[in-house]
Chain A
């Protein structure tokens, strides 16, 4: 027996070593990022990314791991955040010896507690019933947030001051750099914890319930119990993210428990890819980055997110991680470079089409919402007048031309990929 299993044990050891290496690399990366990107904006962005990684991973415990589509996950993030803010204010007021680094635990407890309360109602059924109830609970909490002013602080929200909590050595966590490290540390711990969770008997059964809740019951597991535990734990991790947000922004308001925040985590997770652990991480990083970039560049940035989301659902339902995974055999077989020219070729029509679509969006926005500010604006550094016909014609040409070119280029890309895949398969990598 032992002799037969030796290679498998060795393989398992190697895999464990690999994983440990990856986590150490992640830790080094997190520690080193501020040296590479020391600017204030970069630190704020990276802090937000860390928070969103935890939030999106907690969401994927439901969507990707257990097959539960929630429209109200911000409830646990937001309530975790509010409780954390109140806890911080309490600690400041009563001069309690609480360092800010443990505040996310308050968020975790709040998320877990509300997960237990709302989960006991919503996880009785899976599928559409669960999705609908999650939406209902989301609305319920969001509207309560506007009514219960003493707790949620109404429209303005509740503020705090993280620098006034107990100092840890000579760190008071006032400067953004210190907050970044706090978030990075919590983010890494949560990532490891959530990854480990997916490798437990419970985690495996989450996947089983996702695939076939009925059969899961015939092998001894209550699908409802699996959903409930997953829901509570996901609530707890979302609460950590909320606690980190409370520390980072020093303010929480009703928007944080609302539908927009719930939608945004769904978007990140889905675009990143629900089928793997790394997907939501990629989604959180990319979407946070785009959100900050686009909200600087255009006022209708949410519209672009809608478009991106639709594009992903239609063309790449397995998300960014899914696309990367598809290329893993090519990478291993060292033929990835063969598809690059075709991809570059495909990028051209995509960029043309994108330019056309965004020109239409921006001109429409000028003529409707911003009608009283005049029709002239700048697009890609060019002056544009939305009232004249020329830019509309150009936009139409860009869209139609981009589409036409895309149709022509598509088979070329498919061929390039197919051929590279063939080589990879011949080398035994797929």
Chain B
């Protein structure tokens, strides 16, 4: 072992917006097959960390390695092509495309169709079958023809995740996937995430403590742009530092919502 590079590796990652340092030296290794949760108070920099890894912003300094290759500063589409897919905390879908089309678009590049302007999408059997299956899996089969923009909030959340799942990337990053979902929707979503990420790397940001502890193999706690602990769920639950910095405040926060 030790020969294969980690699925995702962050080394001395920093990000400042002007004078404000938001990510202040993050080191993290996530192995293939690991489900990793990142928790932390509001404004800790969790989403910013996601944006750095997925290419929305370049880091101020530090290295990001995807399966051993440096991806820091690459545009998002390059990073996606190398096998990292993500969803967004703020729903980010294609509002005028149908629900089905949203998912099918998510599958186009991973299935190798690139910019093909000589093939009819309706005739690509496997593409359509996989879109169909994904549509069933996220529970939107009866919404397939609707423009995504008219879906309810929680339906849009499901679609948001569906687009990220399309294509089965090796590294999947989900930013608060179950926010705004009901209990039963959350359970279904967690089940789906668990199933599709078997053998792959998952990085998930979640405020829902049940989801975090039920899903994660390891948890990192991010506070003020620094990871103060990375450990198994049991150890994180027992850690006093974490209790103090986050879990106590999160419970209060949960109550306030």
A204-B108, A212-B93, A215-B93 given as contacts; is B77 within 8 A of A220 (CB)?
Answer: yes
Taking a contact as CB atoms under 8 Å apart, the answer to whether B116 and A202 are in contact is: yes
Q: Size class of A's contact patch? A: 20 to 34
Tell me which residues across on chain A come within 8 A of B119, comparing CB atoms.
200-201
Of residues 184 through 243 on chain B, the ones whose CB sits less than 8 Å from some CB of chain A are none
Whether, in the assembled complex, B104 has its beta carbon less than 8 Å from a beta carbon of chain A, the answer is yes
The yes or no answer to B80 lying at the interface (CB within 8 A) is yes
**Is there contact, CB below 8 Å, between A219 and B95?**
no
Contact check, B115 vs A201: say whether CB atoms are below 8 A apart. Answer: yes
Tell me the nearest residue of chain A to B127, going by C-beta: A201
Of the residues A200, A214, A220, A233, contact of B116 by C-beta under 8 Å:
A200
Contact check, B96 vs A210: say whether CB atoms are below 8 A apart. Answer: yes
Chain B residues near A158 (CB-CB < 8 A): none
B residues contacting the other copy or chain, number (CB 8 A) = 38
CA distance A315 to B85 in the complex (A): 42
* B94 adjacent to A211 (CB under 8 Å): yes
Cβ of A299 < 8 Å from any Cβ of B? no
B120 at the interface (CB under 8 A from A): yes
> Restricting to A189-228, which residues have a CB under 8 Å from any CB of B?
196-197, 199-205, 207-208, 210-212, 214-222, 225-226
Query: CA–CA, A229 to B80, complex, Å?
Result: 20
Min Cβ gap B6→A in Å is 22
CA distance in complex: A210, B101 (Å): 14
Q: Once the chains are docked, how many angstroms separate the CA of A59 from the CA of B176? A: 40
The CA-CA distance from A202 to B124 in the complex, in Å, is 13
Chain A residue with minimal CB distance to B106? A219
Task: Please state if B121 and A217 are interface contacts (CB–CB under 8 Å).
Answer: no
- Would you call B137 an interface residue if the criterion is a C-beta within 8 Å of the partner chain's C-beta atoms? no
Q: Which residues of A contact B104 (CB under 8 A)?
A: 204
**Contacts known (A217-B76, A218-B80, A219-B105); A211 close to B97, Cβ less than 8 A:** yes
B109 CB-CB contact with A under 8 Å:
yes
Partner-B contacts on A (CB < 8 A): 1, 5, 12, 196-197, 199-205, 207-208, 210-212, 214-222, 225-226, 229, 233
| B binding-site residues for A, Cβ under 8 Å | 54-55, 75-77, 80-81, 85-86, 88, 92-97, 101, 104-106, 108-110, 113-122, 124, 129, 163, 166-167
Contact sample, A vs B, 15 pairs, CB 8 Å cutoff:
A5-B129, A199-B121, A200-B119, A201-B117, A201-B124, A208-B94, A215-B94, A218-B77, A219-B85, A219-B163, A219-B167, A221-B115, A222-B77, A226-B115, A233-B117
